Structure 1
Amino acid sequence: MKNKVRELYIKGYSAREIAEKLQKSEGSIKMFINRNFKDFKKVHEEQKKIREGLKKLNKFEFIKAKYIEGYNAKEIATILDESHGHIRNYISQNLKKYSFEHRKARDLNKNIKKVVRSMNNSFMSDASLLKQNRQSFKYDKNYNIEFDEETRSARPDDVPKKFYRRNSIM
């Protein structure tokens, strides 16, 4: 166990990560590290910085790949559970040269969704879909009918998210 802890500590893993990997308590791992590996503290800090840098690099590569695939900043932020502004700033500062590929992929994705939607509507209209699948929809606060993602999980791309009322009652 001593060798495993030393190996992971030198690689830059925190005491919590080591404890999770070895299924030991975090407190005992911290105490073990403080008693036995004081000499490796500088190496540990350097490797920790390198690991954090690689995580950031992987995240930025992911942002770049998704941006080129046609995702916008808000969609990427949702995937990464990050701030929309942070992603938007990164894109505007670092990925301007990929804007042509981004717009091209975005238009292609938009056209694909449009074709799929029109193809599906040629077989069944939105009104017929609503009549056949009423259990999948609920009313919102304005009495519009919207897809119930809480009980029905993910909404398919070809199913409308919301049906708006035509006549409003005042």
Structure 2
Amino acid sequence: MMLRVAAVAIVAALALTGCGGTEPKSETAAGAAPAPPAAGLTVRDPWVKAADSGMTAAFGTLVNNTGADVTVQSATSPASPIELHTMAMKDGEMVMQPQPDGFVVKAGASHELAPGGDHLMLMKPSAAIKPGDELTFTLKLGSGDSVEFTAVAKPFAGAQESYEPGTHS
């Protein structure tokens, strides 16, 4: 009987671990999934545009799981200095512009970081970013909290943005 109960418990535990969403997961020392970040902000489906050289960008969806607006003020990564950028019309042309005030994610809503829109600009990657590479990021929030996530590099030719120096104001 004890063997049967133990087997059911193991099967149930395995079934529950397979039911996770698409949120990035990290493991604690005990092997259990960590609690949601204190900041209440998560990053869904993060990815980085692969690049052999020059600037590139990180994308994903910022999800605010709280009842208050959350401001992403800055981002850091061991792979490169980062600026928060948006694409905007200037003199009839789409250009990149820094977002010194950050990105505001409304209470209970999401904010998309996407090619041709808001993004995390990797200004000077220290090495080529190849498809399949995993890069770590830390978002600094207006509350003083930080949110860490990992993004996988993917080849992407869409949107045809130019991330070369001098292409943004």
| Bin of the TM-score, shorter chain as denominator length | under 0.3
Give the TM-score taking structure 1 as reference length: 0.25
Which one has the largest radius of gyration?
A: 1
